Structure 1
Amino acid sequence: MRDRQASRAARRAREFEAFVAGAAGRLLHTATLLTAEAPDANPRARRLLTLALAHTYAGWDRLHGEDPYECARQYLATRFQHGAWHHYGAVGRARPDPRSPLAALSPQERLILVLRMYEGVAEEQAAALLGLPVERVHSICDRATATVLHPAPATTPRAVGTRAVPSWASRPAGRPR
């Protein structure tokens, strides 16, 4: 009996190690995109990944043919969604890294864009996972895509004590408006 339990535990550990070896890199990249952290400085993404892998390992025996990657990705997304207000909400302690291409997006926009475009999750699946109508997921994804593809121009800071010059004041005299 103990030999059977030991061999089952060893097989479970080997299977999970093989899963982590194949999926951890992609899941970490997904988490880094969600948190909009720099790839070389991503403690929140690493924490998300650790929690997702721990959750997947805890339910490993109950997967029964389900995709463990899907399970880990779902947990990663829902954990990010539930923690986003705490990290990015009213307090705003965790600011996205400005070098991230997704820094201009809200946490919800990042989540939907990453699920749809990077992970290839269908609109219906993303909507069910996030508890949103399909139309809302579609419009948020469209808006986020437009923001990433056509970012707002960066404003240059003015020197202290200078005033902004209205556009009409910079035109040469005598030219029509």
Structure 2
Amino acid sequence: MRERRTAQEARRAREFEAFVAGAGGRLLHTATLLTAEAPDDNPRARRLLTHALAHTYAYWDRLRGEDPYNRAREELAVRFARGTWHRYVALPLPWARRGPAPSGALAGLAPQQRLVLVLRLFEGVAEEQVAALLGLPGERIHTICDRATTHLLHPPRGPAPARVRPKAATS
């Protein structure tokens, strides 16, 4: 009995390792886009991915034909949503962990906009699935995605340059 259980655990570990070897890079890229960190300096994205993969591994035996990539991506999105929305809505706490400042094109977007945009455009998740995952109406997801896309394509301009008054001629 113990040998059979050990063999099952070893098979499970091999299957999960193969999954991570194949999908880990893309999931890390998705997490990096969500956190808007630089690809070479992304501790928040790595931590987010580690937690999502740990949850996926714990759920591995119950997948029963479900795509493990979808499961890991959903866990990644839910963890990002919970972590960032609570963190950005509340006042910043002095003991809260701080990572590198967001950078790149997605840094100007709000966390919710980044999440919807990455799921819809980078991951190709249907609008209805994103709505169900985040518990928002489909129309709201459509609006968030449109606004985020518009913000990326047409970023807001900075303040207008100061008007310089010509010097009065003295003669």
Q: Does TM-score exceed 0.5, indicating one fold?
A: yes
Gaps of 5+ in 1: 157-163, 172-177
2:87 maps to amino acid: H
Aligned to 1:132: 136
Higher RCO (CA-CA < 8 Å; seq separation 6+): 2
Higher mean Cα deviation, 144-153 or 28-37?
A: 144-153
Q: Does 1:100 align with 2:109?
A: no
Residues 36, 96 of structure 1: 8 Å contact kept: no
Query: What corresponds to 1:34 in structure 2?
Result: 34
Secondary structure in structure 1 of the residue aligned to 2:108: coil
Partner in structure 2 of residue 159 of structure 1: none
**Is 2:120 aligned against 1:120?**
no
**Contact 1:33 1:114 (C-alpha < 8 Å) held by counterparts:** yes
Pair 1:149 & 2:160 matched = no
2:71 is equivalent to residue 71 of structure 1: yes
Residues of 1 paired with 2:152 and 2:101: CA distance?
15
Contact kept, 8 Å, 1:102 with 1:148, in 2: the verdict is: yes
Range moving further from structure 2, 86-95 or 50-59:
86-95
SS of structure 1 residue aligned to 2:103: coil
Residue 16 of structure 1 is matched in structure 2 by 16
* Structure 2 residue 57 is matched with structure 1 residue 57: yes
Percent of pairs with identical residues: 67
Equivalences, count: 164
Separation of aligned partners in 2, 1:18 and 1:71: 16
Distance 1:43 1:86 in 2: 19
Paired AA for residue 135 in structure 1: E
Identify which range, 95-104 or 22-31, moves more after superposition: 95-104
* CA–CA separation in structure 1 for the residues paired with 2:106 and 2:132: 23
User: How many Å separate the matches in 2 of 1:116 and 1:170?
Assistant: 49
Change (3 A) 1:12 1:95: closer
Residue 6 (structure 1) aligns with? 6
Q: Which runs of 5+ in 2 are unaligned?
A: 167-171
State the 1:5 CA deviation: 1.0
Q: Provide, for residues 89-110 of structure 1, a one-character-per-residue CA deviation record: whole Å limited to 9, x for no partner.
A: 3435758745311011000000
Query: Aligned partners of 1:96, 1:105: CA distance in 2, in Å?
Result: 16
> 1:35–1:96: 8 Å Cα contact kept in structure 2?
no
